[in-house]
Structure 1
């Protein structure tokens, strides 16, 4: 199952060499910027319009969009599987057509958070279900490119591609980032489904960014478990700046990483 590995400008790059430093993965959409900017709504409208152009009635399109996201992690996975859609055409009509420039602005708080990560002890990558061009476009508009070592995204150009929360995607990401030990992995995402998937693979330090409080209950109590020798810890934050509390060892002058 294919993934795409790129630098922050979208250029292909090789997988990172194995590195003993823990690896931090940041989801991009609705994590590096607030969900309140409205990109989710824009995307839903474009996906629904795309599905209607396939001949699906509006009500059925809305139902299938939700169903495919729930079953496959991405609406496009269901469209490829059941409607023989070209994922690159889908991307051009949906993600790539979003007027991101009108809503995304740099956040000094997010820049400060990423800047304060101790780069002598940690590496930082982005992990997204979007295609690489959307991912790098968002990073550029937010002025965050300098803080990331690489980007792992879905490879819409491949005949078969994987996505979060699939095991194949997470395992490929570990190989791409050069950190084979899942317990040395840090991961923040706004989807409880993705956090549960990573935790099931023993990723060590998973954080659910639950900005509006509508995801926590979907964890099924995982956040109440303590970290064990062979199992990771799940935390919940409602502000990305609270990663400083969830992962104090990650930041400059923090305690030694586990």
Structure 2
């Protein structure tokens, strides 16, 4: 006979399993323009660094889509459920621990791996992969048009995704948004490498993105992100222009807007602060 705790945990696992099945079914059914990834997600060979290569790095979450979609809130609920079920914490304890790890490491999973021995891939499955994103994200024609204009301007050589999420989540977002065919690659936080779990704003994450994209010099890089801490790091590394996306007010956990950064309220406002990149 199961205890109340065991029964609650099984209900939690069953719910996640069912949602994962629904998510995968929907993903397999996508046919709209931009719903399929065209780049090699995990290439075996890295490109030779090109000192003249121009790369625009795009964050994904709360950047390619609006923060007001409340996906972040949905994700926080999912994270707290994981904390409570896997670490047997009360809601207040889970909330406090999650905020601590998020502020200190940029990702809750880093703290979980470092101090609790959590399986990062299991965490990803129960938290990110189980989110019903298809109920929220739809093809964004204005975003698609802006990215096409940026590609066609001839001012940028590569559009590159740079996310703290694992690749499953990042790729699902761009497929649902209908822009997956417009990017040249992705640098993600590799949850499989638990000994070296590196994410923004760690400088090593930026170096990883630099190597994977083939960028030879940070002065030829542009970067947009909703995290002030990440933007601050990009500025300190010498990126040509860094754009802080702040839809309403800066999230203090992610840092205030740094000096020398541009500010926009929505990703499609990029041409307003970077007109030189959108002129043919």
Partner of 2:65: 33
Question: Which of the pair is proportionally richer in helix?
Answer: 2
8 Å Cα contact 2:82-2:127 kept in structure 1: yes
Q: 1:173 to 1:218 in 2, by over 3 A?
A: same
Structure 2 Cα separation of the partners of residues 239 and 56 of structure 1: 37
How large is the RMSD of aligned CA atoms in angstroms?
Answer: 1.9
Q: Secondary structure at the match of 1:207?
A: strand
Partner of 1:230: none
Q: Secondary structure at the match of 2:129?
A: helix
Structure 1 Cα separation of the partners of residues 137 and 187 of structure 2: 21
8 Å Cα contact 1:8-1:151 kept in structure 2: no
Larger Rg: 2
Q: Secondary structure at the match of 2:206?
A: helix
Partner of 1:121: 155
Q: CA deviation at 1:112?
A: 0.9
Structure 1 Cα separation of the partners of residues 155 and 168 of structure 2: 29
Q: 1:247 to 1:220 in 2, by over 3 A?
A: closer
Q: Which runs of 4+ in 1 moved over 6 A?
A: none
**TM (normalized to structure 2)?**
0.80
Partner of 2:166: 131
Structure 1 segment 1-258 matched on structure 2, within 5 A: 11-13=41-43, 14-19=45-50, 20-53=52-85, 54-119=87-152, 120-122=154-156, 123-159=158-194, 160-215=196-251, 218-219=255-256, 221-223=258-260, 234-253=261-280
Q: 1:221 to 1:163 in 2, by over 3 A?
A: closer
**TM (normalized to structure 1)?**
0.86
User: What are structure 2's unaligned runs of at least 5 residues?
Assistant: 1-36
User: What are structure 1's unaligned runs of at least 5 residues?
Assistant: 1-6, 224-233, 254-258
Structure 1 Cα separation of the partners of residues 173 and 40 of structure 2: 11
